[in-house]
Amino acid sequence: MSKLVLPHGSNVLLPLLLEGSKREEESRKATGLKKVPMTTRETSDLIMMGIGAFTPLEGFMGKDDWRGVCESYSLPSKKGLFWPIPITLSATEELAKSIAIGEEVALWDTETESIMGTMKVTEKYSIDKEYECQQVFRTTDSKHPGVQKVLEQGPVNLAGPVKVLSESYYPEMFKEIYQRPAEARKLFEERGWSTVAAMQTRNPMHNSHAYLVWIAIEVCDGVYIHQLVGKLKPGDIPAEVRVKAIDALVNKYFRRDRVIQGGYPMEMRYAGPREALLHAVFRQNYGCSHLIVGRDHAGVGDYYGPFDAQKIFQEIPSDALKLRALCMDWTFYCYECGSMASMKTCPHDSKAVIDDNGNYKGGARLLLSGTLLRKLMSEGKPVPSEFSRPEVIKILQEYYDTVEEKIEVKLHSAATGQVKK
C-alpha cells in the first residue's frame, strides 16, 4: 500500500488521456467534428487534465464552477472542493452560436495544428474578464502577462467533459524529464519515500534555489525538482536551456538518491499567491507531501509582495489540501558568514556591493534572484561566483551568446539584490 499522499479530492488519479483502441476510435471521430481553436494556455490545461495532474477535474469549467473558484476557491459541482484558479475554454461569439448544447467538438491546438481532444459541450456562458483578473491576479493591468491572456481570450466560455488524445510534443522534446503523475508516484514509491517536497522552477537554479532544496532534503525523504516546460513570457530562459543547466547542477552537487527531476506541461500564469495554490494542488496529485514556497513564488513584476504566496496558505481552510507549504525565508550569500544563509539565521544586515566587473567591494548580503541573473547575463555583465555554480553559468552564457534580440529584463522589488552600486 502506498505511503504517499492521496490525490486531490480523490482516492485515485483520474487521467483523461485515452490510450490504445479508444484513442484511435476517438481520433477518427474527431476528424469529422467542428473544431474549437485553443490558446497555448488552454492546450496546456487540457494536457494537465489528460495526464491526471488536474485530478479530479473532468473537463473545462462551467459558470458556477468558474464563479465559485473566483469567489471562494470552491467547485460547486464537486461539493465545494477546493480549487484556486479557473480552468476554462474560450471561443468567439460566432463559433459559440454555431455549437449546440450536447454537441461534441474537436479541440484544436493552433500552435501544432493538431486535434488534442474532444469535448461534449454542456454549457456556453460569458464572464466578466476584469472580475476574474482582479480575483485571480489581484490586478486588471494589461501589462501583467496573465491578465493579458485573459483579456485576449474569446468572449464566450465553453464547458463540458473532455477526452484527451495527445500530450503534444512534450514527451518527445523533454523525454529526459517529462512525467505524468502516475510515473512520478511510481518513482517515489520505488525509493520508499513517503514525504516528498516539490521544488517549483521556471528558472535555472542558482545557489539560493540549491540551498532551499538542501534544507528540504533534511526534513523530507526526498525532493522533486519539478520544472515547468510549458510557455513562458518573453525574456525568460527557454525550458530546454534551463533543463540542461539544472542537470549540470543536480548531477554534481546533489545526492542522486535524494533528488528526482520531473517536467510538467502547464503554462505559467504568473498569478503569484493563487498560482502557488494551483502548484500545490497538482503537486499533491504528483504524490508530493510538501511544496517549497520561497520568495516571490510564481510572481512577476511588483504585483505581489515577496511572501504573499506563503501568507495565502494560512488563509485557506486547513483541510483544503493534504499537501503542506514548506515556507522558506529570503536566502542569500553572506560574505561575513562565508556561506549561504537566510534572514532567520544571518546576523549581518548590510548589503553586499559588487562593482561593474563583478568584484566584491564590501558589505555582507548578496541577494540572489532569477530575475537578476537573467538581467546580468542578458546585458553581458559578469555574474559573481557566489551567485551560481560555474557549470550553470557556462551553459547560460552559451545561450545568451546566441541571442540576437535581447529582451530588456526589469528588476522588481522582490529581486532587489542588484549587484551594482
Contact 389, 344 (CB under 8 A): no
Q: The C-alpha cell of 4 is what?
A: 504517499
Answer yes or no: is pLDDT of 413 > 80. Answer: no
Express each pLDDT in 154-189 by its tens digit. Answer: 999 999 999 999 999 999 999 989 999 999 999 999
Task: Please state, as a whole number, how many other Cβ atoms lie within 10 Å of the Cβ of residue 253.
Answer: 16
pLDDT of residue 11: 97
Q: What share of the chain is helix, strand, coil (3-state, %, to 5)?
A: 35, 20, 45
20-168 against 332-415: fold identical: no
Go through the chain and tell me how many residues it has. 421
pLDDT of residue 69: 98
Confidence of residue 209 (pLDDT cuts 50, 70, 90): very high
Summary mean pLDDT of the chain? 93
Highest mean pLDDT pick, 70-84, 199-213, 353-367: 70-84
Q: The C-alpha cell of 208 is what?
A: 539560493
| Nearest partner of 210 among 270, 254, 174, judged by Cα | 254
Burial of 2 (0-12, 13-18, 19+ CB in 10 A): exposed
Answer yes or no: is pLDDT of 389 > 70. Answer: yes
pLDDT of residue 61: 98
pLDDT of residue 237: 85
The catalytic residue among 67, 202, 242, 269 is: 202
Express each pLDDT in 18-53 by its tens digit. Answer: 999 999 999 999 999 999 999 999 999 999 999 999
- The single residue listed with the C-alpha cell 491526471 is 52
User: What is the domain partition of the chain in residue ranges?
Assistant: 20-168, 332-415
Express each pLDDT in 84-107 by its tens digit. Answer: 999 999 999 999 999 999 999 999
Express each pLDDT in 325-373 by its tens digit. Answer: 999 998 999 999 999 999 999 999 999 998 888 889 999 999 888 778 8
DSSP 207: H
Contact 185, 194 (CB under 8 A): no
> What's this model's pTM, rounded to 2 decimal places?
0.93
Q: Is 207 a catalytic residue?
A: no
Express each pLDDT in 108-163 by its tens digit. Answer: 999 999 999 999 999 999 999 999 999 999 999 999 999 999 999 999 999 999 99
Answer yes or no: is pLDDT of 54 > 80. Answer: yes
Answer yes or no: is pLDDT of 282 > 80. Answer: yes
Q: Is 202 a catalytic residue?
A: yes
Query: Which strands make up the sheet holding 259-264, listed edge to edge?
Result: 259-264, 222-228, 196-201, 290-293, 324-327
Give domain 20-168's CATH number out of 2.60.40.1250, 3.10.400.10, 3.40.50.720, 1.10.3720.10. Answer: 3.10.400.10
Answer yes or no: is pLDDT of 420 > 50. Answer: no
CATH 3.40.50.620 at 332-415, yes or no: yes
Task: Please compute the mean of the pLDDT values over residues 227-246 and round it to a whole number.
Answer: 86
The catalytic residue among 157, 203, 207, 285 is: 203
Answer yes or no: is pLDDT of 294 > 70. Answer: yes
Q: Over pLDDT 90: what percentage of the chain?
A: 81
pLDDT of residue 203: 83
Task: Please compute the mean of the pLDDT values over residues 283-304 and round it to a whole number.
Answer: 95
Q: Long-range pairs for 4-7 at CB < 8 Å and ≥24 separation? A: 4/185, 4/188, 4/189, 4/193, 4/194, 4/196, 4/287, 4/289, 5/284, 5/287, 5/288, 5/289, 5/322, 5/323, 6/284, 6/322, 7/52, 7/55, 7/56, 7/181, 7/284, 7/285
Cα–Cα distance measured from residue 7 to residue 14, given in angstroms and rounded to the nearest whole number: 9
Confidence of residue 417 (pLDDT cuts 50, 70, 90): very low
Q: Comparing 11-25, 62-76, 262-276, 366-380, which segment has the lowest mean pLDDT?
A: 366-380
